[in-house]
Structure 1
Amino acid sequence: MLPDHATRSRMSGAGKIGLAALTLTGCGGPQSVLNTAGSDARVLLTMLSVMLVGLVIIWILVNGMMLFFNQLQTGAHEERYARYLIVGGGIFFPTLVITALLVWGLSIMPDQRAPGDGLRVEVTGEQWWWRIAYWPEGAETPVIAANEIRLPVGQRVEFDLKSARVIHSFWIPALGGKMDMFPGRDTRLSLEPTEVGIFRGQCAEFCGASHALMAFHVVTMEPADFDAWLAAQAAPAMAPDGDLARRGAAIFAEQGCGACHAVRGSDASGQVGPDLTHVGSRLSLGAGILAPTLANYMAWIDHTGDIKPEVEMPAYDHLGDDELTALATYLMGLK
């Protein structure tokens, strides 16, 4: 027996509510503006919420007025009354509400160009990865890393943003707004994390074939933990541990990997590709797209261009499985 019209309407309404609830569950996660973990992101979310409420009020009143006069009161109206209604309800009121929201929004906008509290992080957008340099206050040389950013909570950190070739856009949704990166020009913003956690950043400006594969993890830490981590990152690479890792280090040198990559504490001093001194301690491989497992390290070395189209790193598909295993073991041991 088929359900009647009322039953079908209730089923349809329930289905819509269920679909809406299912949609909202996808709004969280490590790369969501709704999952705030910084003072700037919290202000932006407040602005979004208040402005959305204001716009909904305008929409309801304007469309309610149209519904009232089209469906409920369809007779002739006095011209003067109609003119006041159109000008006041259709022009003056929306303009007043939107202007008030704009003035309020500008007054509470996060000061993402304010100076930092000491730590400066230089980020350069490459094709398609992130070159990272940490400059603690008073430091004469930076601590070099790649494809992962770690920050102390409770401190405003200043970012110096650069681009090597094309326009990129630096964005950590959980911490704040985005900022474009231009070749030949430095841009700047500052962010203040307020919660410890792991979040995700992304290039938000189309920059080429692997734009969607240009991501990074952001780890916010207690200040003491961050200081200890930064000190460890400044140290040279650990010596290979075990015969397999030592063989991998030899293959790394034989294949000329050190011409593009640096491993501080070894003869590898290349500046073209990411610094690999502590690559084994990072939470991802290939700029936020692969989990750091042995199989993924081997696949990345063997099929680089298949995983990230048009990447500059050549694929080392001439290596055998045993050589790939040794090389991947060596890289994973660079903690």
Structure 2
Amino acid sequence: MDVPSAAVPLAAPVPGSVLDPVGPVAEQIAGLTWFMIVIGTLLWAATVLFLVLALRHRARRAPRRNTRGAKAFIAGWGVVVPMIVLPAVFAYSLVVGVHISRPAPPQAVDIEVVGYQFWWEVRYPDSGVVTANEVHVPVGRPVRLRLTSADVIHSLWVPPVSGKVDLVPGRENTMTFQVDEPGTYLGECAEFCGIQHARMQFVLVAQPEEEFEEHLRTLQLASSRPDTSLEAAGREVFLAASCGECHRIEDVSGGGVAPAPDLTHLASRDTIAAGMLENTRGNLAGWILDPQGLKPGVRMPPNNLDGDELQALLAYLESLE
């Protein structure tokens, strides 16, 4: 039996660096970064050299009252050089800013990302797909992210892919980029948004066009029906414990009372808790029973389930591929 692409384990995410770009937008930002690093290093090295020469000169000769040379040096190094360097850096920054702010082309993939404390909702409006904490994009094709927040200001950042863009409540910002190398890249929130800001992560998966389309087709499917009596009992536990009042599972629950990640294809994800924990049975059990103990400040309350209820619920959730 063929395994759906959404159920194929992802490669380990690469933290990446702004200096190791994988797309044209990131290359522009990396070029500006290297330019500033080189200019700053040269100015620092020249300043240190002048300081060393000045100290050696002072040690060899007695002080003189003629300060014309010192004034000329201060005027040149403190006024003329900054008047050349700063406009150059500003001009380069302006060029890069204009380039990366261009509107997305018509063939761009539209994806909506909503920031919550402390996770990400991901929507593909053209396909009707809703998921969480994973952004899949096709390689070599422009992507437009429409970004907003449901609570406080967040900031989305994938260092080797693009720059930072804020997610602001009541406002939609956009980020346009393209990834030219297949891979799984680690993204994060770059704006302090609360106690679990540092653990608000996601993965960006760049894959060939065919795999991307297959992934979307898989996510368009409703949740699988329970195959065993244990899984069926787990679905009843899910509903009885009021999990469905917040979490959505296609054809099972609508969620919405307090927004929480969509669980329709939970078992296909490599992580839970917005990238904090590997998606294993033990971690999932601990997260269900005591999320506040693992990630204080999240909106999910603890669940008082006995052993049989927990095992049934785990069996059901693990079937949601």
Q: TM-score range by the shorter chain?
A: 0.7 to 0.9
| C-alpha distance after superposition, 1:76-128 (max 9, x if no partner) | 38544333222112321233123223212322344145215331111111121
Deviations 1:191-212 (A, max 9, x none): 1111111111111111112111
* Aligned: 1:111 with 2:97: no
Q: CA deviation at 1:185?
A: 1.3
Structure 1 SS opposite 2:100: coil
Q: Which residue pairs with 1:187 in the alignment?
A: 173
In structure 2, the CA distance between the partners of 1:155 and 1:84, relative to structure 1 (3 Å rule), is same
Specify the alignment match of 2:119 in structure 1: 129
Are 1:217 and 1:284, in contact at CA under 8 Å, matched by a contact in 2?
Answer: no
SS of residue in 2 equivalent to 1:249 = helix
Q: How many residues are paired up?
A: 302
User: Which aligned pairs between 1:1-335 and structure 2 lie closer than 5 A?
Assistant: 29-72=14-57, 74=61, 76=64, 78-109=66-97, 110-116=99-105, 117-135=107-125, 139=126, 142-266=128-252, 268-271=253-256, 272-316=259-303, 318-335=304-321
| Unaligned 5+ runs, structure 1 | 1-27
Q: What residue identity is the alignment partner of 1:308?
A: K
CA distance change for structure 1 residues 95 and 322 in 2, over 3 Å: closer, same or farther? farther
Q: Distance in 2 between matches of 1:245 and 1:265?
A: 15
Q: Which amino acid aligns with 1:104?
A: Y
d(CA) in 1 for partners of 2:102 and 2:307? 49
Structure 1 residue 29, shift from structure 2 partner: 4.3
8 Å contact kept, 2:222–2:250: yes
Higher relative contact order structure (alpha carbons within 8 Å, sequence separation ≥ 6):
2
The alignment partner of 1:319 has SS state of: coil
Q: For 1:206-257, what per-residue CA distance to the aligned partner results, in whole angstroms no more than 9, with x for missing partners?
A: 1112111211111111111101101111111111233322221121122122
Amino acid at match of 2:320: L
Q: Is contact 1:305-1:311 (8 Å) kept?
A: yes
Give the match's secondary structure for 2:270: coil
**Aligned equivalent of 2:10:** none
User: Aligned partners of 2:15 and 2:233: how far apart in 1?
Assistant: 38
> Is the partner of 1:239 in helix, strand or coil?
coil
Q: CA deviation at 1:174?
A: 1.9
What is the letter of the counterpart of residue 198 of structure 1?
T
- Check the 8 A contact 1:112/1:191 in 2, yes or no: no
Q: Give the partner amino acid of 2:293.
A: D
Q: Which residue number corresponds to residue 25 of structure 1?
A: none
After TM superposition, give the deviation of residue 284 of structure 1 in Å: 0.8
Q: Is the 8 A contact 2:20 2:30 kept in 1?
A: no
Is this contact kept in 1: 2:232–2:316, CA < 8 A? yes
Select between 307-316 and 62-71 the one with higher mean Cα deviation.
62-71
Q: Give 3-state SS (helix, strand or coil) of 1:275's partner.
A: coil
TM-score by length of 1: 0.84
- Root-mean-square deviation over aligned CA pairs: 2.0
Shift of 1:265: 2.4
Residue in 1 aligned with 2:5?
A: none
Instruction: With the length of structure 2 as denominator, give the TM-score of the two structures.
Output: 0.88
Same amino acid, percent of matched pairs? 34
